[in-house]
Chain A
Amino acid sequence: MTPGNTSNEQLPSKGTVRILQLYPRDMNIYGDWGNVLVLKQRLAWHGYDAMLLEHNAGDTFPDEVDLLIGGGGQDSGQVVIQQDLQSNAAHLRALAEDGTPMLAICGLYQLFGRFFKTHDGTLIPGIGILDIETHGGDERLIGNVVARSEEFGDVHGYENHSGQTFLGPGVRPLATVTKGEGNNSTDNHEGARHLNIVASYLHGSLLPKNPAVADFLIEQAVTRKYGSFEPGEVDDSLAELARQHAGTRPR
């Protein structure tokens, strides 16, 4: 087969979406750049411009943000960003409650919750946007994941975490695991959904193989800013084939 690229004819832009990546310096070890790139490119394919912004520990938080995205790091990276995240907590909560779409993966997913209680009992406070709590576990949950979501269909990704996350009544699971572990090794929930936030342990990266999630975030951002979203024609046949093959791979 010969996969073609979606044509990039120059049409007038339908608008600009400002995407803020949180902590790319310390929380970017599991291919999170892939998620940013997918948002940028899909916005272009839908006829919109993307402006990429970054916020690292110590930076001044930018004024206008239409879409937020943050990834996973090592435990040491989480320690580095901890204080900065807390000092911006109120602002991030306000943005979330105002409907700003957000994607929080892995480490940032944990820190969007109420707390992360580490293995030795240390309580690392989260910013409480999500009604979840995370407990450090003995076992590391690693491998391919497939999880079924009513909203997005099957979600494909890869997990690598030792934190076990449990959902409170204030959030609903993103999906139900059919292969892999997901949030923890006891229930079959993967990720969390609340307001316009999608939170998940899955990288791999998440968005390339799950364009429905990418387009949800884009649609929310555009609609919130411009009142409506006019999608373009996007050829997702390669993503579909990548999903099919990923689904057949061993854990």
Chain B
Amino acid sequence: MSSLSVPLGKAVRAASRLRGGGSAFPGLVVERIDPGFMARALRNLPRGVVVVSGTNGKTTTTKMVVELLQGQGLKVFTNRTGSNFTRGVAAALLGEVDWRGRLDADVAVLELDEAHAVHFVNLVPPTHCLLLNVLRDQLDRFGEIDKTTRLLEQIARKTTGTVVLNREDPRVASIASAIPRTAITYFGLDESLRGTFPSDDELRGATGTAPASDLPADVVLETVDGNTASFTMDGETSTVNLSLRGVYNIFNAAAALAMARVIMGGDVRRAPLLASLAAVEPAFGRGESLVVDGQPLELVLVKNPSGFRLGLKSFDAAGYATMIAINDNYADGRDMSWLWDVDFDSLKDGGVDMVSGVRAYDMALRLKYDDVPARAVDTDTGPALRTFIRSAQGRPKRIFCTYTAMLAIRRDLSRITDVKVVS
């Protein structure tokens, strides 16, 4: 069967692309008819298989790790459409392998959803993994945030080489005690930045549960000033001007540096590493900056209270027209309670020009209780976007949006302006 599965899978992939179908379907087909396909294709990569997981920042961090390694001269396979389920990896592999199922790459860097990663690592034990954070989104999927931690722990258990952990997230740091015999590397923050990145336990002023920053870190984010950040590695601090914006992305840059250093080992070259980092552009819909009517329009993806808080903190509202679009589709999470743990004070002065999305009225109600003026509400993101752009003429614009709202807005924007398409 396996000798036929690759050609068949490739044929399904070609057919479904012609139909404009979903990117993961051919992966589902190949998974069904040939469950060993992925393990075989990924088995003999010289620098191994890296899994990137966590509740937040997977897509951008994966993109950073990929580009850092490419900058070191490696040929990297990745699932870059953000289809982060096992079948998405299989589908991406089908596009890259030759007709005999062989993958021409030095290393695979794969973004995996927390729950699907567990399925994946049972099929393909990774050589390394990078675990970013355990934040509160997806409680409606997992029930408890501690359960999400257990899922990441299973990825770490299956990892044969080095596990890279966020020492500042008490839940992620706690995974170390569950994998006593595995090599562990940490990334972290300087003490002065810890208050900028509240863990979920700290959202309401409670203290963190672990003295996380006492752990030794391979890469430490020392300072952030706009897009300029400094990182300490091997006792030497370097300053980088990043193309990426947003403090959470910049912290994840420390994660990506740590992972790239693990993969490269003694071969790592520092100057190209930092040059690659400076050049990384935002991933699909995540802090992308487009141009509409000669003014920048920024899309900021928000998925949970910590991320929304950091988004508001990262991007100064002054001078910007603001829109917020909140959907509650399955991919966004159906539970709206997280909106009440975001503090919207920073929008009080300028107000919000448009509130949209399926749960626009929940959002508008939230703003009302923070005394933030909301000038207009329209649940339909299409007309809302047009009204917003018209009313904000001549001003830079920013849209905070949940995942499916981002997809819809991006689609509408592509009719107005040139929006980069990730194949």
Contacts and interface: CB of A to CB of B under 8 A. Distances in A.
A34 B337 contact: yes
B169 interface: no
A20 to B, nearest CB: 15
Contacts of B339: 31, 34
Nearest to B143: A140
A201 interface: no
A1 B205 CA distance: 36
A242 B365 contact: yes
Contacts of B365: 208-209, 238-239, 242
Interface string B311-331: 000000000000000001000
A3 B368 contact: yes
A91 B339 CA distance: 33
B359 A245 contact: yes
A205 B352 CA distance: 22
Interface in B353-378: 358-362, 364-366, 368-371, 373-377
B369 A74 contact: no
B146 interface: yes
Give chain A's interface secondary structure class.
Answer: mixed
Interface stretch (A22-30, A181-189, A217-225): A22-30
A164 to B, nearest CB: 14
A227 B329 CA distance: 47
Contacts of B146: 74-76
Contacts of B371: 5, 8
Contacts of B338: 31
A12 interface: no
Contacts of B360: 245
Given A245-B362, A246-B362, A30 B337 contact: yes
B206 A26 contact: yes
Interface string B68-100: 000000000000000000000000000000000
Contacts of B190: none
Interface in B203-224: 203-207
B310 interface: no
Interface in B137-157: 139-140, 143-146
A250 B328 CA distance: 10
Given A209-B362, A242-B362, A37 B335 contact: no
Contacts of A246: 336, 359, 362
A125 interface: no
Given A30-B139, A208-B340, A160 B368 contact: no
Contacts of B377: 1, 3, 241
Q: Which of B143, B337, B341, B364 has the most CB of A within 10 A?
A: B337
Contact of A1 (B335, B358, B376): B376
B374 A204 contact: no
A160 B204 contact: no
Chain B interface size range? 35 or more
Interface in A140-193: 140, 142-144, 158, 160, 162
A33 interface: yes
B366 A74 contact: no
Given A31-B341, A142-B143, A25 B373 contact: no
Contact of B366 (A143, A208, A241): A208
B140 A31 contact: no
A205 B340 contact: yes
A143 B334 contact: yes
A3 B369 CA distance: 12
Contact of A249 (B204, B207, B358): B358
A160 B375 contact: no
A38 B139 CA distance: 23
B145 A29 contact: yes
A41 interface: yes
Given A28-B204, A140-B143, A160-B143, A3 B364 contact: yes
A204 B140 CA distance: 12
B340 A34 contact: yes
B334 A158 contact: yes
A135 interface: no
A30 to B, nearest CB: 5
Contacts of B369: 34, 37-38, 41, 208
Interface of A: 1-3, 5, 8, 24-26, 28-35, 37-38, 41, 56, 74-76, 140, 142-144, 158, 160, 162, 203-205, 208-209, 238-239, 241-242, 244-246, 249-250
7 contacts: A2-B375, A5-B373, A28-B203, A35-B340, A76-B146, A158-B140, A238-B364
Interface of B: 136, 139-140, 143-146, 200-201, 203-207, 328, 334-341, 358-362, 364-366, 368-371, 373-377, 379
The 10 closest A-B pairs by CB, nearest first: A34-B340, A31-B337, A25-B206, A242-B361, A31-B340, A241-B361, A238-B365, A140-B143, A203-B337, A242-B365
